[in-house]
Amino acid sequence: MTRTSPGHAGDHAPGDPRDGTGATPPGATGPGRAPRPGPVPPGGSAPPEAAPPGRAAPPEAAPPEAAPPPEAGRGRAPSGEAAPPPEAPPVTPAPPPRPAPPGRAPMAPGRLPVLGHALRLSRGPIAFLESLRDVGPVVRVDLGGWPLHVLTEPALIHTVLVGEAHAYGRGRIFEKLRPLFGNGIATTDGAFHRKQRRLMQPAFQRTRVSRYAELMCREADAMAAGWTAGQEVRVDREMRRFALSAVAGMIFSGDVDQPAVREVHRSFPIILEGMLVRTVMPKAFDRLPIPLNRRFDAAAARLRAIIDEVVAAYGPEDRGRDDLISLLLASTDPETGETMSAEQVRDELITILFGGTETASTTLAWIFHELARHPEVEERVHAEVDAVVGDRPVTPADLPALTYTKRVFEESLRLHSPLLFTRRPLTPVTLGGVGIPAGAEIAYSPYALHRDPELFPDPTAFDTERWDGTDPHRAVPRLESFIPFGAGQHKCIGDAFAVAEILTAVASVARRWRLTPVPGHTVKEVPAGIPLPDALPMVVTARS
């Protein structure tokens, strides 16, 4: 399968749509990469092998003998006229060729008895998922009784997420999140999901996001103002606190000191730890009476209970507040006239709380790590912030002008993307010539996709110029090749909020400080929903 992709149907990477292509021309393969094997035909038979040395090839069949010429005088017309050509016998049209039945995907190498690939995936999930692109466009992975078909081609992923999205459900990873998220927008499908998305969409319109950004600016400025020159800070923890405060303020009318917000700060790390483990473990693991499960269950119960209390306390006089709770309680489906129940509002609030915090806080931590590793990039960010913002606090009106800072964000998000998502076909499907039964698990890795050298040359380099778009000799990556927020009907509803959140924090810190690595500390990437830095201590340095 070549690197061509169908046209886009509405999904887009953060920011303005782009028309460039980073895909390899049809028929080409990546540098040093052999052509990818196709699916194994039904029955598993391999193509015929060449005759070994010293062994004669089987003789070729002799060509059929030519028909003898007609006998003299036969078929000649009277009076010396030339004989008319003989009538051709009727020809029965050949039946149309039958389409080849779908084949089987090649199995990923390194499969062990009983465990399958679970050991390889647990010991090095990032390297394992990246290795699959050399096996084929669709690869079978066995996780100890949990079979997966992993897609590595952007065109196939686009088909599942956009082109034929109606034919797929969420899949196992999202089901494992339901004990916490309930029937929120992240875990549901079909008509119910579409209804919830319509109800929530007004809360994430551009004008609303601009209002939320005012709170983001205040929180980011307070964070940066609270640091002192020479102080060592855990940037990963600081960014999580900032992101939680920004999202909680959107939910709770900007009151980030109320008990519900304090409970969010307390519970979030515990719940996140449990979520990461539960998504890859069998269902029976969730019921084991181990400390991890007890902490997770208690924290999830506290969080759901306190949000229930907040939602229940909203009376008619509170419905006019400019916060997410008020908007969801007052929302009406334009197609059906339905509203949300209090339980559904709670589920959506928890979904937004976690979705709006994890991506933003992790991406911010990686941005400051990359800026410290690339001083020339940091200098350009500082110059842009100085020109746009100056000595005053950042405002929402500044964000569209931070174009280079936006490219830094996009490149950081490309290098540090979500690890794995799943989908489940509702009926039998064929992808890349591979037959996949209904109910099977399909997975794709944005992380591996965004580091594919056929799509992103020199993929491990931090190169902001790949997003510039002004060089006629260098195309911007195609939309279906860059999907950090998903695509199609399940695309992240809060992506514009996340972009504003991240740009605000970067600009607010950059106008005051430089963050430099702590000497002797090596940052390691920890596999997670979005791979995390294990710890990111940095020294706050005043800009000279």
Q: Residues comprising the binding site for heme?
A: 492
* Cβ–Cβ under 8 Å, residues 339 and 198: no
Between the alpha carbon of residue 506 and those of residues 20, 163, 290, 408, 498, the distances in Å are 27, 36, 40, 10, 12
DSSP strand pairing (138-142 vs 147-151): antiparallel
Structure tokens at 208: 């609303």
Residue identified by tokens 């995390």 is 532
* Cβ–Cβ under 8 Å, residues 411 and 428: no
DSSP strand pairing (537-542 vs 168-169): unpaired
Of 465, 399, 347, nearest to 209 by C-alpha is: 399
* Cβ–Cβ under 8 Å, residues 328 and 251: no
Q: How does 28-55 read in b/e, with b if 16+ C-beta sit within 10 Å? A: eebeeeeebebbbeeeeeeeeeeeeeee
- Residues annotated within the binding site are 492
Q: Is 480 helix (H, G, I), strand (E, B) or coil?
A: helix
Q: What pairs with residue 436 in β-bridges?
A: 429
Between the alpha carbon of residue 149 and those of residues 134, 435, 499, 501, the distances in Å are 15, 10, 32, 35
Q: What pairs with residue 515 in β-bridges?
A: 540
Between the alpha carbon of residue 34 and those of residues 133, 134, 445, 458, the distances in Å are 11, 8, 21, 18
**DSSP states of 156-183:** HHHIIIIITGGGEE--HHHHHTHHHHTT
Q: What are phi and psi of 505, to 5 degrees?
A: -65, -45
